[in-house]
Amino acid sequence: MRLLHLSDLHLGRVLNGFDLIDDQRYILEQILDIAKEKNVDSILISGDIYNKRTPTESAVELFDKFLEQVSEMGLNLFAISGNHDSDVRVDFGSGVFRKNKIYIAGRYRGEVEKVTVKDEFGEVDIWLMPYLKKAAVASYFGAEKTETYNDVVGTVVKSCNIDKTRRNIILAHQFVSAGEKPRLAGSELRYESVGTLDFASVKWFDDFDYVALGHIHRPQSVGRKTVRYSGSPLKYSDRETDVPKSVPVVTLGKKGEEPEIEKVPLIPRRDMRKIKGELEKLIDEAVDKDDYIVAELTDKYRQHDARARLKQVYPNLISVFYSENEFEEDDAKPRIAANTALSFEDNVREFYRLMTDGEEISDEEMKILLDIMRGDDITE
Ligand SMILES: [Mn+2]
């Protein structure tokens, strides 16, 4: 069977004021074209379907349409929630959808759901492990088995109790590492300097034939070729200009045969790229003007109206900065680093004041942030 592996769609994402929904629609169409062209049987989505827990109407509409198209093509679809998704909302309709071969696991309920499908070599078990929150896992397995992030993931993966004589595939939305820190793309982390980043060992996944990971936006394998982050289908931050996007198409053969993986490049409707040089030169030599542009100015002196002038040629200008002194032209967004001497809560309060000209964060908002924080969830 042949699988197309996706993750981190972040439908509804708005980047520096630019609504990316049309770019997302475009890339999903391209993905379906790839699925057709490569004769794919199943699409996997390893979490972060939406950009937030309360997705925009246009994001829901887009995903709805996508499911309809997948279903019309006769494909299987397997999806799990990510840390950005509301597990409950992602679960909506899932009981009904499965009649159309659309299998979605939003909420973790103490067991990892298994779906068995058939191909010419027999049966394949596909495990849908939704994004795991420590508290949810602890309520089923107790505090001892869920002390660290690695324990949480390991405990749940082990509980699958897979039949090793069969072919097994798992979808997961977690940080998984083979020892060294994975290379991030840039849009995963919002509060990099707050808290520590934890990783689960790739060892837990040793007996799976393919591990379809989501959470890290830069495409990469972890430890072996068949444990893989597909990466997000689009660049989702101005730090990702150098991260080309692709989708892995995985051909699963007989048990014991290493699956073949082809990385098919994704070509966005508008690329996000960095340009570097003196302002006048950048304006004179402008090409592909619809692209999302991150401009690095090498002028020695601050240029009058640099941002507005660049925006005239590049309407989708994302950010401007000077390389000499790292001076941010966009002074509405000062560079901020967390003060490690303060608690998370105090850092958040301070940050909120800075961003709102001195307003105080509400208790309700603070509670949401703390909940996220406690769920080991400090990432995008
Ligand atoms: Mn993500």
**Count of residues making up the chain:** 380
Q: What is the C-alpha end-to-end distance of the chain, expressed in Å? A: 32
3-state secondary structure 132-158: CCHHHHHHHHCCHHHCCHHHHHHHHHH
Measured in angstroms, how far is the CA atom of residue 228 from the centroid of ligand 1?
14
Spatial neighbors of 188 by CB under 8 A, at least 6 apart, are 215, 216, 217, 379, 380
Q: What does the pLDDT read at residue 78?
A: 98
Confidence of residue 79 (pLDDT cuts 50, 70, 90): very high
**Mean pLDDT across the chain, nearest whole number?**
90
Query: Could you tell me which residues are beta bridge partners of residue 300?
Result: none
DSSP code of 73? T
Measured in angstroms, how far is the CA atom of residue 10 from the centroid of ligand 1?
7
Measured in angstroms, how far is the CA atom of residue 8 from the centroid of ligand 1?
4
Measured in angstroms, how far is the CA atom of residue 42 from the centroid of ligand 1?
21
Whole-angstrom CA distances from 321 to 79, 200, 235, 276, 316 are: 39, 37, 19, 10, 15
Architecture field, domain 2-265: 4-Layer Sandwich (3.60)
Which residue blocks in 262-332 are alpha helix, DSSP H? 279-284, 306-313
Q: How much is the average pLDDT of 151-169?
A: 97
| Residue 378 scores a pLDDT above 90 | no
- Find out whether 32 and 71 touch, Cβ atoms under 8 Å: no
DSSP code of 237? S
The 10s digit of each residue's pLDDT in 343-362 is: 778 888 878 877 776 778 88
User: Rounded to the nearest 10 degrees, how much is the dihedral formed by the CA atoms of 170, 174, 177, 180?
Assistant: 160
Q: What does the pLDDT read at residue 354?
A: 75
Measured in angstroms, how far is the CA atom of residue 250 from the centroid of ligand 1?
21
Helix axes 134-141, 149-159, angle to 10 degrees: 60
Q: What does the pLDDT read at residue 338?
A: 65
Measured in angstroms, how far is the CA atom of residue 380 from the centroid of ligand 1?
5
DSSP code of 94? H
Domain with CATH 3.60.21.10 in the chain: 2-265
Measured in angstroms, how far is the CA atom of residue 306 from the centroid of ligand 1?
32
Q: What does the pLDDT read at residue 181?
A: 65
DSSP code of 26? H
Say how far residue 298 (Cα) sits from the centre of its chain: 33
Rounded to whole angstroms, the Cα distance separating 196 from 257 reads 38
- Find out whether 262 and 225 touch, Cβ atoms under 8 Å: no
Query: Could you tell me which residues are beta bridge partners of residue 19?
Result: 14
Burial of 287 (0-12, 13-18, 19+ CB in 10 A): exposed
Measured in angstroms, how far is the CA atom of residue 214 from the centroid of ligand 1?
7
Whole-angstrom CA distances from 317 to 14, 16, 179, 327 are: 14, 9, 38, 17
Rounded to whole angstroms, the Cα distance separating 70 from 211 reads 22
Choice between 262 and 326, residue whose per-residue pLDDT is larger:
262
Measured in angstroms, how far is the CA atom of residue 223 from the centroid of ligand 1?
21
Which amino acid, 10?
H
Choice between 303 and 112, residue whose per-residue pLDDT is larger:
112
Q: Sign of torsion, CA 348 361 335 313?
A: positive
The 10s digit of each residue's pLDDT in 1-55 is: 999 999 999 999 999 899 999 999 999 999 999 999 999 999 999 999 999 999 9
Whole-angstrom CA distances from 238 to 49, 70, 230, 234, 269 are: 21, 31, 19, 12, 17
DSSP string, 172-190: EES-EESSSPPPP-SSSBS
